[in-house]
Structure formats: C-alpha cells, structure tokens
A and B are shown apart, each in its own frame.
Chain A
Amino acid sequence: MRGALVVVVLGLLGGGCGRRETEAGPAGAPATFGLGRPATADEIKAWDIDVMADGTGLPPGSGSPAQGAVLYERKCAACHGKTGTEGPADRLVAREPRQGFPFGRDPTLVKTIGNYWPYATTLYDYINRAMPLNAPGSLAPDEVYSLVAFLLWRNDIIASTAVVNAQTLPRVLMPAHDRFVLDNRRGGPEIR
C-alpha cells in the first residue's frame, strides 16, 4: 500500500517536475553563486536521522516488547500513563475502532498508533527524535526499537514475542495504512 500511495503522490504532484528541476534563475544572475561549503560525510551522518516508510534510515539494533515495557515504565509512563491510555500526554494505546475508520464523523474518538497511524516506521522516527519530551534524543537504537515494539504490542499489532529491527519494522502493517488519501482541494467554487 505504501508503494501505491507514493505512486499516486508522485503522479499528482510531480507533473512537469522534470522540466522544472533545472529551472533557470532570475535574468542576469549566474547559474550558481559558488557560495556555501561542501558538507562533510560526518556532518550529514550526524544530522540525517530520519526514517522512511520503507525502512531507509533505520539503524542496526533491535528490541522486544518485554524490553520495551521496562523502559516505558521508567521513561514514559509519567506522561503517557501506566498502560499508555491514562495520559496526561497523548494517548498511545487504543485498539478501537479497528473497523470503519469513523474519525471524521465522531469527534470523541481518540486517534492513536493502533487506530490511526498509517506507518510503523514513523514511530521509530518520532520517538528517536522527540521523546521522552524532557530528554529528547537521549535514547539508544536498541531502546527505541524496544519502545516501538512495546507500543506496537500494546496496540495489538505485533505479538508479544516479536523482535523489532530494521528488517521487521517496515513490514509491520498498520491497521489504518490504507485509509489515507491525498488532498483534493483545488480552490474554485467547490467546498471540499
């Protein structure tokens, strides 16, 4: 499904890109100014932390729900609740509704990993860069994998015995993965 969505995205937004990629600058300006310095491989590596839906960017390492449970209790439960449902910060666990995706109709439903997130890789990317809120960027890859495993297990998406790593995580199919559509608003008289 990820593949299908990406193809649609490209089809819609990529029209004419081939021509415009080489778009010329303003009249009288040189093609390039020769400003800026070449980036070193090390500085790219230090900052390039993003993880894509196909797993590109996932580091070596692995984790399990059991390992994650221990970490969660220590580093996350204070804000997200003992079982991921109590808050005060964002609810991280909700398996329902699994059917129908009625979020647009019912404003009382809470969107979470289990019922709304389309990609499991996003969980790695986000926890790694932004959580825990009071010490962002402090988790080692094995810890992030473990927390991801714990949250996917709590949301009934993977088994309690599953091992999460760079190979298995991109293959996790999220319950909401085929619910997302591209923006079809185009201006003009129609209200969308």
Chain B
Amino acid sequence: MTDAPISRRALVAGAAGALGAHTLRRAGLAQAPALAAPPDPTKVPGQPTSALGQRSTFERPRRIPSASGQGVSLSPLQDFCGIVTPADLHFERHHAGVPTIDPHRYKLLVHGMVERPVVFDLETLKRFPAVSRLHFIECSGNGSAGYRETRPDLSPQLVDGLTSTSEWTGVPLATLFREAGVKPGAKWFLAEGEDAAVMTRSIPIEKAWDDALIAYGQNGEALRPEQGYPARLLLPGWEGNANVKWLRRIEVADRPFMTREETSKYTDPLADCTARMFSFVMDAKSIITFPAYPVTLPEKGWWEITGIAWSGRGRITRVDVSTDGGRRWAPAELEQPVLAKCHTRFRHLWNWDGTEATFSSRAVDQTGYVQPTLEQLRKARGLGTHYHFNHIRAWRVRRDGAVSFEPEG
C-alpha cells in the first residue's frame, strides 16, 4: 500500500460505512426481513431466550440446489467470513438422495482381509479416543463452470460452491483397523455407503494409516444428514466423492475394486489419449470471494480483497494477489489458523482508483505447487477433462463498480 498512512481501524470503519451503500447487492441478505426492527432497540425489551437459535431474520444465506433436487447444491462462499462453513450451508453432492438412517440401528461392518471381522454401532464408535480436526471437503467436479464455457455473471457460489470446511470429530480409521487386525498384504479398502446409490470407492490403505477418520461430528454437533449422518468416511484433502457418506461397510482387500465411480466417473481423460484414475488429491486452489459478482463497488478507495485458499497436499504457504490482470503479484495476508488440508482465509488491501481492473489470486502450498493458469491447466489436461479444475480465477471491476467473473486473469 503506497498511499498515505491510514490506520487499520479507520479503514475498517470506512469500509463498514461504504458497505451500507451496497449491502443489498450481496446475495445472502434478505430484502424483507420477517421480524421488523424497532426504531430504537434500546427502548423495547428484546426477544426471549429460546431452545434453538435462529439466524438474524436480516440474514438469508442460501445454497443453490440443482433444479431436480438431485445431484449438487452449491454453498454460498461469498456470504462467509473466516474459514468454517455453517453446517446447514455445507455443499451437497449425492447420487441417489439423502438417506434417513436411524442411529440406533446404525452399524459399521469391517471385514475382508482382517483377523477379526467386526461390527461397530454408533455408541461404540464414540467410545474410541476421538479427534477433532478442521478440514475442507471439495467435490472433484468443483469449478467446472469456469473451465470451458464461462459467463461473466457467475458468483463465487456458482464457480466454486462445492467446497466447504468443517471441524470434523471422529475416530481415526487406523484405530478401527488395529481393532480388526489388518492382514499382511492388504493394500486397499472398499468404503460403501448406506444410501440408495450404495456408493462405493476403493481407497489405498495407506490413507487409513495416515489421516483418515470415521467422522460423526461436524462443527460441534452430529453430522448433518446431507453430510453423512450418522457417520462418514473423511479423507482429508481427497476428492469429495471418496469421502463416502452414510458409511456402512469397509472391506479390506489386496487390490482396488474398480467401481463405477472410479472408472466411468471420477477419472480424468488426458490430452495424450489416456485417462487418469485414482486421482484423489485436490491440488492447491484459491478464489476471491469479495469483491465478486454480483457485488457493485459503490465508490473508489480502500477495499479489502478477501477469499479462501486450500490444498489437499498440506498447508497453504502463500497466496499472491494481482490487481492488474496477473502482471504483478503481491503476497496477501494469511489469517491464522493456517491448517493443513483446510480452507485458509486471505486478505489483501486494495486502493481502487476507480478505473477498470482485473484482480485474481494464486495459491502456493507446502510442496511448492503453484495454482496454475487456465492455459497451463488446459495444456496439461486437455479440454475434455471433468474434474480437478483448480486454475486461477479472476474478477473484473468496471468503472461503474460492477464486478464480473473472468475465466483468466
């Protein structure tokens, strides 16, 4: 920031004032709140205590479900601050609807290449030493709207709404595998769901010894049905589909099972006429969530560019922001905590001079991987690919303050 010194607090106050002018343009705000605000809240008693809290009636963040009610429901990234996704706004992806599972009848079967085929009910899963960890889950198809045919009127939700971060609580899969006694020669396990798709994926057993969890908690309470109630597989940093929800069965084996979701789907045809399979890890990525379509900046001056960055390979070490179409990049501020395989919030102060500008973000992770440009990604993958769209996203602001999506920047 090269302009005259300005205190951070003044800046925030100024921004808050300015925000008033354009807040109605933010998608998550209600136009007509159900509960009217009194002229002076200090002159009337407020609402009584309640058994279950509600959002302010002025706030109406919403997922965008697909028209059919099947398939996907996008999370409103532009409405969030910090890194945690409220559980009721976590993205959805399911192949045959959300099942209703009675926790009292729930059981998880572990069998195959184990010494002791074993069944755990929910209470037993909760009796094992538990861990709580913050991790993102991202659908591997996330970002497809920005890859081939893109439009300027895409919000962060429409571009990348299939990623969410939660605090997950559960038992390490390694604990259950020790309990069952995995036999020598075991290399893979099948994870199977109790939904109508009876979803199955083959997972290398190394992931179980590394950091896989059987999760039953999400942000301090039981999992939401849409996220796998009462228990799911959590594979930190790996594509959403492999994190099998409503988990009912694990079969240990010496080879992968070649299910439909790891052959027909979730494979990546490459420009060299092969197709990549078992491409589990979500590579480093970032997206600016403000300012972004459909926001209109009401005036030039100081604005905080902010967004999220994440990598399935570990921690984010840097996020660069460019406000001149990718010519010059400056490191953004990474907000603590910066955790492995978790959304990381970045912030970058920008003094907008009121002229047209393209701004973008570029994430770097602890392996030294740098989020690629659209051109780099298309060169490596070809145009026909359907998953792992992690190229740099950009936004363009016009002189009148209107912000639109740009596939490259």
Q: Hey, which bits of chain A sit against chain B, CB under 8 A?
A: 6, 9-10, 13-14, 17-18, 20-21, 23, 25-26, 29, 31-33, 35-39, 43-44, 47-53, 100-107, 109, 111, 113, 116-119, 121-122, 125-126, 129-130, 133, 136-137, 176, 179-189, 191-192
- When the two chains form their complex, are residues B263 and A191 in contact, meaning their CB atoms are under 8 A apart? no
Closest chain-B Cβ to A24's Cβ sits at a distance in Å of 8
Closest chain-A Cβ to B217's Cβ sits at a distance in Å of 18
Chain B residues lying within 8 Å of A21, measured Cβ to Cβ, are: 182-184, 186, 205, 209
Separation of A46 and B270 alpha carbons in the complex (Å): 39
Stretch at the interface among B30-38, B192-200, B219-227: B192-200
Please list 5 pairs of residues, one from A and one from B, whose beta carbons are closer than 8 Å in the complex, sorted by A's number: A9-B187, A49-B198, A101-B274, A125-B257, A179-B273
- When the two chains form their complex, are residues A36 and B124 in contact, meaning their CB atoms are under 8 A apart? yes
Count of inter-chain pairs, beta carbons less than 8 A? 219
- When the two chains form their complex, are residues A106 and B197 in contact, meaning their CB atoms are under 8 A apart? no
- When the two chains form their complex, are residues B277 and A180 in contact, meaning their CB atoms are under 8 A apart? yes
Chain B residues lying within 8 Å of A13, measured Cβ to Cβ, are: 187, 204, 206
In this complex, how many residues of chain B approach chain A with their Cβ under 8 Å: the count is 83
- When the two chains form their complex, are residues A183 and B277 in contact, meaning their CB atoms are under 8 A apart? yes
- When the two chains form their complex, are residues B256 and A130 in contact, meaning their CB atoms are under 8 A apart? no
- When the two chains form their complex, are residues B196 and A130 in contact, meaning their CB atoms are under 8 A apart? yes
B280-314 Cβ-contact flags toward A at 8 Å (1 or 0):
11010000000000000000000000000000011
- When the two chains form their complex, are residues A37 and B119 in contact, meaning their CB atoms are under 8 A apart? yes
Separation of A32 and B176 alpha carbons in the complex (Å): 9
Closest to A189 in B: B368
- When the two chains form their complex, are residues A179 and B255 in contact, meaning their CB atoms are under 8 A apart? no
B328 at the interface (CB under 8 A from A): no
Chain B residues lying within 8 Å of A176, measured Cβ to Cβ, are: 275
Closest to B283 in A: A185
Chain A residues lying within 8 Å of B119, measured Cβ to Cβ, are: 36-39, 43
- When the two chains form their complex, are residues B260 and A125 in contact, meaning their CB atoms are under 8 A apart? yes
